[in-house]
Amino acid sequence: MGLSIGGFNGIDTDELLTKLMYIEKAPLRRLEEDKKEVQAQISAWQQLNSALDTFKSKAGDLSDIFDKMAPTVDDEEVLTATANSFASSGNYEIEVKQLFQAHTVASSAEVEADTISGSFDIEINDYSITIDVSEASLQDIADKINNTIIDHDGDSNTDKIQLAQASVVDNKLVVQAAGDVINEGTNITNEVSFTNETNNILSTLHLDTMDTVQNHQMAQFKVNGLLVERGSNEDIDDVIKGVTLNLEGKLSEAGETTTLRVGTDKEAMKEKIKAFVDQYNSLLKTINKYGHPDEAEIEKGEGDAVLSGESALSTVESMMYSSVMNPNGSLSSADWLSNTPLSWDAGTTNNLVIDGTTVSLDGASTLEEIAEQINTELGKDMASIKDNRLVLTSEGSLAVDLTGSDGVVLTDLQIPETFKTNVVSLMGITVDRYGEMSIDEDKLDQALSKNMSDVKQMFTGVNGIVDRVETNVDNAIKSYSYSSGGGYVSGRISTLQKEIKYIDEDIENMERRLDMKEITLKAKFTRMDQLMTQLKNQGSWFTSNSSS
CA distance 537 to 443: 100
**Number of domains within the chain:** 3
**One domain, residues 191 and 283:** no
Selection from 466, 420, 444, 486 nearest residue 59 by Cα: 466
Looking at residue 13, what is its pLDDT?
72
In contact, 231 and 190? CB cutoff 8 Å: yes
Instruction: Look up the pTM and report it.
Output: 0.69
Looking at residue 482, what is its pLDDT?
38
8 within some domain:
no
Do strands 116-124 and 104-106 pair parallel, antiparallel, or not at all (unpaired)?
A: unpaired
CATH number of the domain enclosing 315: 1.20.1330
CA distances from 368 to 172, 392, 395 (A): 71, 13, 21
Looking at residue 527, what is its pLDDT?
79
pLDDT along the chain (548 residues), means of 10: 47 77 85 86 88 94 89 95 88 95 96 95 92 96 94 73 94 93 79 94 95 94 95 94 94 91 91 96 91 62 71 89 93 92 94 95 95 94 94 88 94 93 93 93 93 92 94 79 57 83 86 84 77 75 69
**One domain, residues 88 and 225:** yes
21 within some domain:
yes
**One domain, residues 273 and 234:** no
Looking at residue 294, what is its pLDDT?
65
**One domain, residues 159 and 287:** no
**One domain, residues 91 and 173:** no
392 within some domain:
no
128 within some domain:
yes
CA distance 500 to 498: 5
CA distance 328 to 325: 9
Structural element, H or E, at residue 482 = none
**One domain, residues 119 and 247:** no
431 within some domain:
no
**One domain, residues 233 and 291:** no
Looking at residue 351, what is its pLDDT?
96
Looking at residue 295, what is its pLDDT?
55
In contact, 405 and 417? CB cutoff 8 Å: yes
**One domain, residues 164 and 182:** yes
Looking at residue 483, what is its pLDDT?
40
Looking at residue 14, what is its pLDDT?
76
543 within some domain:
no
372 within some domain:
no
CA distances from 401 to 329, 391, 393, 394, 460 (A): 11, 13, 11, 9, 19
5 within some domain:
no
**One domain, residues 255 and 271:** no
Q: Is the dihedral of CA 319, 323, 325, 326 positive or negative?
A: positive
Domain housing 177: 104-216
**One domain, residues 64 and 132:** no
Looking at residue 5, what is its pLDDT?
45
**One domain, residues 137 and 210:** yes
Looking at residue 481, what is its pLDDT?
38
In contact, 390 and 333? CB cutoff 8 Å: yes
**One domain, residues 465 and 508:** yes
